[in-house]
Amino acid sequence: MAGIFEQLGYLYNPNPNTSDVVLLNTCAIRENAENRIWGVLGNLKEPKRNNKEMIIGICGCMPQEEHVVDRLLEKYREIDLVFGTHNIYRLPEFLYEITTKRNKVVEVLSFEGAIIENLPKVRANEHKAWINIMYGCDEFCTYCIVPYTRGKERSRHKDDIISEVKCLVQRGYKEITLLGQNVNAYGKDLGIDYTFGDLLRDLDATGIARIHFTTSHPRDLDLKTIIAMGECKSVMPNLHLPVQSGDNEVLKRMNRKYTHEEYVEKINLLRKYIPDISITTDIIVAFPGETEEQFVHTLELVEEVGFEGAFTFIYSPREGTPAATYPNPLTEEEKHERLNRLVEKTNEGYLKGHQRFLGRVVKVLVDGPSKNNPNLMTGYSEHRKVVNFIPANANVGDIVNVRITEAKTWFMNGEQIDE
């Protein structure tokens, strides 16, 4: 969308209060993400009163929820534009309609439509890029709103992805992150015998230095992909593999379609083909009906797998999902207590994941000077660890060798050893 704006001749203004157009691209994954947006919308009332020409738009996942659109139209009359996740390419037409006729535009589609290629883009960096390879999700985990807001799984054609990456390589890009709600289902909807493992190999052949991807679903992560990860030099030795819970009954009620044991088996397989791999995860605590014993199974799994990082969440009911109707007798205090115990455990994992690199030389893709100390540079290692280091001759976008001298919970320190 930033690319579309740029092509239309708009300039970026970081201050929403003085902008001609404010477009809120929203997330619906948890209640607090939505609450933030309601707060921002409230704060925009005043600037809009002072500047009637200002256009306020809201898009993304929240408008894909019917109750959100109802509330938007009822309570936030200053909003000019509402659209969802399936019609982003129509943004220029929406803006034309509003600026020429001052009409309110509300267009939320419940069907996905075709993938629109070659939309203009703005990239945040010149050395690393995000690349969507698929949209939507067919998993229907019982707590999750994504299948409703993002629609069915649709994969981009491999030739479009490969040519985009080739173009980035030519422009000097070093790292790509392949994006999708469930990248391991890549290609399944295209009806051709070409899946995620094949895509990894083809992208490895483009000459890009580093490939990373997110997010993976444990059930769909297949051996073909794991072998490709091990064999392709550019595929980084780390994986974010959301487990959500360590208890089989909870996993079943979440509709995750694997057991604690099957998850651990996948981890063992990953370690067999990528011995040095670092594994991170997502975990939800206080899923409706989760007992203390079931929560302890999650703590045990964290210990067993040795996650080197985790995003941890308290279950948040999402209207329209099956789990939102399940009884959840835990108090807020009990939920937070579980989260705290979990975070304590996962933090140990972060630290251990850094300590294992002490004294080793790692390859770091340089992002720039460290925010806290301008004499240091910072970047990510191949295992996706933050590394701050004393530079020798490092420039943004270089991949440099750094010897690790110190391991902290959230980062590692080191010094560049290149001449």
CB of 150 to ligand 5AD, least distance (A): 12
Residue with tokens 């895509």: 199
* 226 lies in the site for ligand SF4, by CB under 6 A: no
Cβ–Cβ under 8 Å, residues 216 and 197: no
| 267-286: contacts with ligand 5AD (CB under 6 A) | 282, 284
* 258 lies in the site for ligand 5AD, by CB under 6 A: no
Q: What's the CA gap between 138 and 399, in Å, rounded?
A: 37
Contact pick of 62, 91, 146, 387 for ligand SF4 (by CB under 6 A): 146
Instruction: Tally Cβ neighbours within 10 Å of residue 243.
Output: 25
* 228 lies in the site for ligand SF4, by CB under 6 A: no
The count of residues interacting with ligand 5AD (CB under 6 A) is 12
CB of 134 to ligand SF4, least distance (A): 11
Question: In terms of CB distance, is 37 or 137 closer to ligand SF4?
Answer: 137
Q: Any bridge partners for residue 380, and if so which? A: 365, 386
* 345 lies in the site for ligand SF4, by CB under 6 A: no
Question: In terms of CB distance, is 184 or 381 closer to ligand SF4?
Answer: 184
Selection from 264, 411, 272, 392 nearest residue 351 by Cα = 411
Question: In terms of CB distance, is 127 or 253 closer to ligand SF4?
Answer: 253
Residues 6+ apart with CB under 8 A from 4: 88, 89, 91, 92, 119, 120
Q: Select from 17-25, 139-147, 358-366, 385-393 the region that touches ligand SF4 (CB under 6 A).
A: 139-147
Q: What's the CA gap between 285 and 341, in Å, rounded?
A: 10
Q: What's the CA gap between 248 and 261, in Å, rounded?
A: 9
Cβ–Cβ under 8 Å, residues 182 and 139: yes
* 235 lies in the site for ligand 5AD, by CB under 6 A: no
**What is the SS3 string spanning 8-77?**
CCCCCCCCHHHCCEEEEEECCCCHHHHHHHHHHHHHHHHHHHHCCCCEEEEEECHHHCHHHHHHHHHHCC
Contact pick of 140, 265, 359, 373 for ligand SF4 (by CB under 6 A): 140
Question: In terms of CB distance, is 141 or 208 closer to ligand 5AD?
Answer: 141
Contact pick of 147, 309, 349, 414 for ligand SF4 (by CB under 6 A): 147
| Interaction site with ligand 5AD (CB under 6 A) | 29-30, 143-144, 242, 244, 282, 284, 313, 315-316, 318
| Interaction site with ligand SF4 (CB under 6 A) | 137, 139-141, 144, 146-147, 181-182, 217
